[in-house]
Structure 1
């Protein structure tokens, strides 16, 4: 079963009596779903509820619903609880104020008349047993507490986790409790024989009911730190277990595991004297690398295929953004329908893993479509891609329109030490990938008038022995490109200025 939603779902609530689910997302609204028919409920297919409910002023982080599905309570970062009746969802029934922080968890009793909410800070999750006699709370302090609702002065410390607690789930007729934490592992704890203590006793006899969980499910390490290397192709990461890894953004793969080494030292070892424009950004919100591509800079990074270690021909140019977008959508049949030989097509050097997730979002951050790379082959997904993929994506993968090269203006002048013979100056513009050796060849071909009939290729081959290029009094390597010279040597505003010297070797 898979439901297509418009944004990250932060909370679910289930009404067991009517088998319906409410889902809350970051886009300030929640939806009501029929679990049996797997569709969003609307006034046209259900006489009780309507689908999308909205009215909050901030992202929704918590949700609760009574078993009969007649009351829905939402909590958000606006520090207010909103109570809704799904049968009349054009407006919320009431607002409950008093919290001073983000509301991250809610539980509600059967008739919807009593609500137990998070504390003012620190409590991130709540769970309540079927009889609504005991509530379990947990959060930032890593402790799981059980509180007697008939006398809230009595509580029991169920367990102490090793990391802040995100979620609680009661199972096995309320005799066991699953706990998830920021450490990504899952633990199952016994809550069958609670030993309550009064508040005053808890201060002097802080003892847990359990020292070891009944069951432990080991979680994968989450990425905590990352650094984009200046080749703008590889990202080096450090996870929660201090392991350092290297990922290739172009192939969407882990390429090297370095183990528990120093992240800073590895960054220094892999930093090159090369400038490649930024063409993507990274975030670690879900503990994994998430790569963001934006129309404004996705196609900024052109390189020669040789510099990118893709092939030996230095004259072949590749665009990193083009390579990854084409690879991500290669399963979409529409990208292979038009075969126009007159239109240029970027050579493809690799494929991304079929399970790579792809998410399309609006400028506001609202998600409009998500799928796996391999799912693009399906008819439904293909129709959704045709509808929701932005024009700059379809122009590339469907219409095969490659982006233009980036132009860099620069000044080229001769070296002169005499005031009587001022330096010759000319303003030029070329691809920012142009190597200094090409500038040297230009100087040699322009200034060598002694051999008017000489072959240009012969003159170009001899140019390196007769011309040197300087920037800020630093001799440039012929293999350095203009953008690297501008960012690592020129390092100032205005046009890049290159000075050439005629030499005899």
Structure 2
């Protein structure tokens, strides 16, 4: 669990959300954007868009291939083994660093938090602390190992420094960036901190003096990656302008530019000597370039998706490199030496003796090194030495008209149906047309939306807020709970709250006290017991998390107390005080059908609950408007044999309710017009 202490129940309106997922999630379900490797113990830590940090036991480079050669992946006899997960983040994990002699992992997320984890060798990983200094996405981290300090940067334009040895105390806040920060770097002794992003310029901070930062200009688009050498004299940057730039920090100028990539460069890695840089990004190429000879870019291999993160297996004489992409797979590629490829020259002239071509820049401009025709190179590698397969992620979803089920399609083209009220998948359709399956499951019924769904994590996340959560009242028959009962009404939002808080002591006590005949208890009595592993989040109105727990833990003492500090008042009203909003009323007009040739049609204005069925309107017309003497003897189930109702020339079914008629047939603003026509015997 993670929480913010003493959170006020007043202020900005709060929301609830939960994630529909499997009990065990051993594989990534979406992009992998953060990685750290513990070479001493052979552990890989990975995180990304599905919010979960996973730990893997991986072999050393020489053990990666099987006896026959080829790719290895996790399995019964695989050298890669899933060890466990770290789950507290509620949004994309953007960056991670290992610190504290490899015993502490620090992670940064779009949920605006930085979190610390204990990762002792016995695999008893534990959540240590949460830093809430930032107010927006935390995009990147940096580490100064000589002084055990961690640096974080965010879209909120702030840079914070934390002291690992002082219980993660915030020791500095560096100001000066004017826009979102995407990239960060520091020296081992924290003598300099470099930060950049959408400003396109690189700011150099001295955290010892907090003086106004220096600036280095040159990029023409967002700066996505930064690295600096140990003595703080040189830096490399990469940007969405597809360039890699080498900077002299003392003179604050660009001394060389590589334009080997065709699209944005998002990630950089350098070896321990700062002599070789590895780069990748949107064009999917992974290049190796000598820092002092930027013309000599070599195409190592090409990934199947844009590359989010590179990570060298070791900094000194690296033998392999880990790659995370927009897809959920993680790959390790060999960096074995290979003869340099000829990429220079033209079809009729000789190539250069070094097998590379360079351009000669104008004397007045910074030298620009041009690696020509990288796209024409033959990749040095075509097969990764090791693959950690990912799972399929949901990339399309649509809520059915019943406002209970959500249809999804994943990256493997499989279609599935989820029950929101039960927080689980209820049917797999395989590789079928999404639209066909949707049409098969659609009903001519209108129920107001009471939740918001998204799948940015690769899994379904359902969000409830005060404005809409209680809007879905419907009969137990329409809800599918009782085929014969149209009088008893249920409220989907109220049911969902009882499901989420079923194990929370105040909710249990309130249910026992109210009794089964209480109206709210009856309206929510069909609630489902959710899977105990379902993640459940209380967040601010802007989505910033206040507390995360598992549904099954809500009855535990610590979690119950923390939940009491952050639960919003509208939840308290519903589950403790048994208060739900009343049904919505809908005004409508009754008129005789034009085909009856009325001389002076009377326009009766009425008002009723929006769930009133058309057959009830028929009964009212037959008895009160037309004043038929036999009205009392006609059962309501047969009223359609005596009278018909129309809207916009469409004959209405007796079982429809008014809101369904308005949504599917009236289809316009203004008050609903209904026309009645007696059936002549």
TM-score range, shorter chain: 0.7 to 0.9
Residue 440 of structure 2 is aligned to residue 269 of structure 1: yes
Q: 1:334 & 1:83 partners in 2: Cα distance?
A: 53
Q: TM-score, normalised by structure 1?
A: 0.87
Question: Residue in 1 aligned with 2:639?
Answer: 463
Equivalent position of 2:140 in the other structure:
11
Q: Shift of the alpha carbon at 1:116?
A: 1.2
Question: How far did residue 80 of structure 1 move?
Answer: 3.8
* Map of 2:670 onto structure 1: 494
After superposition, residues 12-411 of structure 1 pair within 5 angstroms as 12-35=141-164, 39-42=167-170, 49-50=171-172, 56-86=177-207, 93-119=213-239, 120-121=241-242, 122-172=264-314, 173=316, 174-193=318-337, 195-196=339-340, 199-200=356-357, 203=373, 206-312=377-483, 313-339=485-511, 340-341=513-514, 344-345=520-521, 346-411=524-589
Instruction: Name the SS for the 1:337 alignment partner.
Output: helix
Aligned to 1:439: 617
Return the alpha-carbon distance in structure 1 between the equivalents of residues 407 and 190 of structure 2.
48
Could you say what secondary structure the match of 1:98 adopts? coil
Q: Which has the higher contact order (CA 8 A, sep 6+)?
A: 2
Q: CA deviation at 1:86?
A: 4.7
**Secondary structure of the corresponding residue to residue 75 of structure 1:** strand
* SS at structure 2 position matched to 1:104: strand
The CA deviation string for residues 122-164 of structure 1, in whole angstroms up to 9 with x for no partner, is 1111111222221110011111111111322222222111111
Q: Following TM superposition, by how much is the alpha carbon of 1:26 offset from its aligned partner in structure 2, in angstroms?
A: 4.5
Distance 1:437 1:457 in 2: 15
Q: What is the match of residue 76 of structure 2?
A: none
Distance change >3 Å, CA 333–CA 242, structure 1 → 2: same
State whether residues 446 and 660 of structure 2, in contact with CA within 8 Å, keep that contact through their aligned partners in structure 1: yes
Equivalenced residue count is 494
C-alpha distance 85-361 of structure 1, shift in aligned 2 (>3 A)? farther
SS at 1:267's partner residue? helix
On the 8 A contact 2:267/2:309 being kept in 1, the answer is: yes
**How much does 1:450 deviate?**
6.5
Task: Tell me if structure 1 keeps the 8 A contact 2:496–2:527.
Answer: no
Q: 1:104 to 1:468 in 2, by over 3 A?
A: same
2-structure distance, mates of 1:101, 1:152? 20
Residue matched to 2:7 = none
Q: Judging changes above 3 Å, is the alpha-carbon distance between structure 1 residues 78 and 439 closer, same or farther for their aligned structure 2 residues? A: farther
Q: 1:416 to 1:258 in 2, by over 3 A?
A: closer
SS at 1:485 equivalent: helix
1:393-451: CA deviation from partner (whole Å, max 9, x where unpaired): 33223333212222211112344667775233322222212211121222344357666
Query: Relative to structure 1, is the Cα distance of residues 12 and 306 closer, same or farther in structure 2, using a 3 angstrom cutoff?
Result: farther
Q: Give 2:654's aligned residue.
A: 478
Q: Distance in 1 between matches of 2:273 and 2:503?
A: 51
Q: Which runs of 5+ in 2 are unaligned?
A: 1-125, 243-263, 342-354, 358-370
Alpha-carbon distance, 1:55 to partner: 5.5
Q: 1:31 to 1:359 in 2, by over 3 A?
A: farther
SS in 1 for 2:224: coil
Match of 2:608 among 420, 424, 430: 430
Q: Distance in 2 between matches of 1:148 and 1:279?
A: 57
Q: Distance in 2 between matches of 1:83 and 1:333?
A: 53
Listed one character per residue, the Cα deviations across residues 212-235 of structure 1 (whole Å, up to 9, x for unaligned) are: 111111111222222222222222
Structure 1 residues 216 and 41: alpha-carbon distance in aligned structure 2, compared to 1, 3 A threshold: same
User: Cα deviation per residue 1:200-253 (whole Å; 9 max; x = unaligned)?
Assistant: 286386122222111111111222222222222222222222222222222222
- Alpha-carbon distance in 1 for matches of 2:378, 2:278: 16
Report if the CA contact (8 A) 2:615-2:636 is conserved.
no
Secondary structure of 2:444's counterpart equals: coil
1:174-211 deviation per Cα after TM superposition (whole angstroms, max 9, x unaligned): 32110011121011011242655654286386122222
Query: What is the CA–CA distance in structure 2 between the aligned matches of 1:30 and 1:331, rounded to whole Å?
Result: 40
Instruction: Give the match for residue 106 of structure 2.
Output: none
- Give CA deviations for 1:337-378 in whole Å, capped at 9, x if unaligned: 334425723214312332323334433444443333334334
Q: In the aligned structure 2, how far is the partner of 1:8 from the partner of 1:253? A: 29
Q: Please, what is the CA RMSD of the aligned residues?
A: 3.1
Rounded to whole Å, the distance in 1 between the matches of 2:557 and 2:161 is 27
Residue 46 of structure 1 corresponds to none
Deviates more, 1:250-259 or 1:341-350: 341-350
CA contact (8 A) 1:465 1:504 kept: no
CA distance in 2, matches of 1:28, 1:348: 48
Asked whether the equivalents of residues 65 and 72 of structure 1 are also in contact (C-alpha less than 8 Å), the reply is yes
CA–CA distance in structure 1, aligned partners of residues 447 and 562 of structure 2: 34
